[in-house]
Amino acid sequence: MRTWLIGLCAVLAIAGASAADSPQYPLDSIDQRAQPCMACHGKQGQARRDGYYPRIAGKPAGYLLNQLRGFREGRRYFPMMTYLVQLQRDDYLRELATYFADQQVPYPPPETPRVSAATLDRGRTLVMQGDAALHLPACRSCHGSRLLGVEPAVPGLVGVSQDYLIAQLSNWRNGRRAALGPDCMAQIVRRLSKSDASAAAAFLAMQAVPADARADASFERPPQMKCGSIPNGGGAP
């Protein structure tokens, strides 16, 4: 049996258990409906130790809603997620997104670097400054001054595992993930070598997350690229 199918069975089992064995959560309440998500994304959406399923707790609600819509509409591909959201209405998905955005739970400690000091230096440069020669904006120019995201729709990057970050950049590279057009991340990935992607992911994964880990209320300055997922589109292409 394929791994994703095993995982789907686990999700459905937890969904049934939530209804039958968790009387503290009234049937069809948001608390009860959120339980299947936690089978993969961890308690309150704080992520599991394996790092494969991302943290959704505390992410901006607009970002989470965009991702749920992406799975429903085919911009993102993961069978379990598609199965769970393919028949759901926007109001249902928005309620789930808001629920997990409101969860404020501790982040895990940062990862131990698995790359050389030179690679980490390159990652720091890409994240904090970008690379003008490659037309790469700094990660922090879109993902917030503290890399904790920007309301209402840009996710944080710190507190995310290196493996997950690399996997998502690879998904953009091979077309298994897309965002609303213009897809600025797809443009960035086309300019980003695999070694640079690994360097940036390694640097981000080793950053400690502050206690007041909330997304910025607004951008320090307008993003340098137009992004369909950002309200008002961002900056210049």
Alpha-carbon distance 142 to 140, whole Å? Answer: 5
Question: Checking phi first, is residue 60 left (phi over 0); if not, alpha (psi -120 to 50) or beta?
Answer: beta
Query: What is the fold, at CATH topology level, of the domain defined by 3-101?
Result: Cytochrome Bc1 Complex; Chain D, domain 2 (1.10.760)
Which tokens hold the place of 75?
């911009």
User: Could you state, in order of their start, the residue ranges of all structural domains in the chain?
Assistant: 3-101, 117-233
Could you check whether 3-101 and 117-233 share the same CATH topology? yes
For residue range 173-220, list pLDDT tens digits in order.
999 999 999 999 999 999 999 999 999 999 999 999 998 889 999 999
Yes or no: is domain 117-233 CATH 1.10.760.10? yes
Residue pLDDT tens, the chain, 237 long: 444 444 455 455 544 444 444 447 787 899 999 999 999 999 999 998 777 899 999 999 999 999 999 999 999 999 999 999 999 999 999 999 999 999 999 998 898 888 999 999 999 999 999 999 999 999 999 999 999 999 999 999 999 999 999 999 999 999 999 999 999 999 999 999 999 999 999 999 999 999 888 999 999 988 889 999 888 766 554
State pTM to two decimals. 0.88
How far apart (Å, rounded) are the C-alpha atoms in residues 65 and 143?
Answer: 17
* Phi/psi-derived region of residue 26, left when phi > 0, alpha when psi is between -120 and 50, beta in every other case: beta
- pLDDT tens digits, residue range 156-177? 999 999 999 999 999 999 999 9
How far does Cα 188 stand from its chain's mean position?
Answer: 17
How far apart (Å, rounded) are the C-alpha atoms in residues 142 and 155?
Answer: 9
Q: How far is Cα 132 from Cα 145, in angstroms, rounded to an integer?
A: 19
Is residue 183 within 8 A of residue 190, CB to CB? The reply is no
